[in-house]
Copies of this chain bind each other. A is one copy, B any other.
Amino acid sequence: MNDDADVTVEFDEDGLVPAVAQDAETGEVLMLAYVSQEALDRTRETGRAHYYSRSRDELWEKGATSGHIQTVREVRVDCDADTLLYLVEQDGGACHTGYRSCFHRTIEGDVVGERVFDPDAVYDAETDGEETTETEV
């Protein structure tokens, strides 16, 4: 996975970079999460989006609990090589709250996104939606 031609990703002091997931078809920005070298390698090897949870301190595969996987069509890097863009096909919803995108609210609090599943039917009490988000607070 480390061909000479690959862009060298500039991971931060914690070994992470932010990754934006965008729907490859509609262009909708779905979520932002963090990616380690291992998460990036797994993403490229499997074609399914992997991230690194800062709160749980572990690698996670999007959709492992919910089934709402992201099939990664392409990985892009920005000019500084310190941010990634995953172009994905999103099964179901990206957000653990049931919305297709995590960015379903304006800063004024208006809901503008589409709810596509019932989180209570997808996550049990134990996982509590943690699979698709990383609540740092």
Residues of A with Cβ closer than 8 Å to B? 3, 5-7, 9-10, 12, 18, 20, 22, 26-29, 31-32, 40, 44, 74-80, 82-85, 95-97, 99, 102-109, 112, 133-137
How long is the Cα–Cα vector from A27 to B26 in the complex, in angstroms? Answer: 8
Interface of A, secondary structure class, is: loop
List 17 A-B pairs, Cβ < 8 Å: A7-B105, A7-B107, A7-B108, A7-B109, A18-B18, A31-B78, A74-B106, A76-B103, A77-B103, A78-B103, A79-B95, A79-B96, A79-B97, A79-B99, A80-B102, A80-B135, A84-B107
A109 nearest CB neighbor, chain B only: B5
Contact A10 B136 (CB under 8 A): yes
How long is the Cα–Cα vector from A115 to B40 in the complex, in angstroms? Answer: 27
Contact A85 B103 (CB under 8 A): yes
